[in-house]
Amino acid sequence: MRASETLASGRPAGLLRRFRRRPAAVASLCVLVAIGALCLAAPLVARLLGTDPEAIDLLGRFRPPSLAHPLGTDELGRDVLVRLLYGGRISLLVGLGGALVASAIGVVIGILAGWRGGLFDRLVMRVTDAVIALPLLPLLIVLAAVDLAKLGLPAELAGGAAASVLRIMVIVALFGWTTVARLTRAATLSIKNREFVLAARALGAPPRRILRAHILPNVAAPVVVATTLSVGNVILAESVLSFLGLGIQPPLASWGTMLTNAQELIFGAPALALWPGLLIFVTVLTFNLMGDGLQEALDPRQSRHR
């Protein structure tokens, strides 16, 4: 395969045309854009409804849906719709941020291992296998429960709500890079012996230029797909940790913390658990469907056979 063929398959116009042929992926993208836009507009929605997501109104507990509260109120009289939108901002931030950082780490490790080969490649792959073999959920629970103040961080930072968001993103990045690293390494091993790479090396191109101009563009497809699919996994991990009380800390809200608050009210007010659970399900499903569509659109061999 010539470099021109490989890179041509990644032109934006061609990618968009192939992606649009997959209705499930296009619908998933539209749903994700709608959810993201609504979450970003959370302050505007709160202003239009005249409510504060953190304002407690014990006299207005468990109100049914109305014009003032389209999804009703929770056990503390807070508007459920506004809290869902604010919680979505945190859940999507953790999912996207954690997946992107983990993918960046995986790309660097995978390309270096595949390009250099030899002892370095074997050592990196054994470390990768060791990380994969770790029991992820128990490890995440233990690390999320660590008191950062005892590690030397100032108490106001270690105990802050923003610190809980950053901690989850860091934990996910530290242990979520393995899939991208293995995919990137495999693609690099395949591409570095192609004619256009050998020609660039014969012409005296430095390794940095070869990696940037030839290797990285040709390993982008599996990286993009793996990153898209991992966003849903990160959102699920954050939801599990928040459900266990080890994730996002008040006053911030996420879909996982809303599920935690609703678990004791599941029989009396099931809607409080239904809405955040439904949003988690829809978001994870649409990310996975969009990832499948991207995988088909970015694969030039599949595109030729269609």
pLDDT at 303: 47
Average pLDDT, stretch 93-111? Answer: 92
Which parts of 52-135 fold into alpha helices (H)?
80-116, 118-133
Predicted structure pTM score:
0.82
Q: What is the pLDDT of residues 166-212, one digit of tens each?
A: 888 888 888 889 989 999 999 898 888 888 888 888 888 888 888 88
Closest by CA to 219, choosing from 186, 193, 195, is 186
pLDDT at 2: 42
| Top mean-pLDDT range of 2-16, 57-71, 292-306 | 57-71
pLDDT at 13: 66
Domains of the chain: 21-49+79-300 (1.10.3720.10)
Cis upstream peptide for 251 (omega within 30°): yes
Q: What is the pLDDT of residues 8-48, one digit of tens each?
A: 344 566 677 878 888 888 999 999 999 999 999 999 999 99
Is residue 244 predicted with pLDDT exceeding 80? no
Is residue 258 predicted with pLDDT exceeding 70? yes
Q: How many residues does the structure list for the chain?
A: 306
Closest by CA to 94, choosing from 41, 161, 182, 157, is 161
Rounded CA-CA distance 206/28 in Å is 41
What's the whole-number average pLDDT of the chain?
Answer: 83
Average pLDDT, stretch 136-164? Answer: 68
Q: Residue 22 in 3-state DSSP?
A: coil
pLDDT at 11: 59
Q: Is the Cβ–Cβ distance between 168 and 98 less than 8 Å?
A: yes
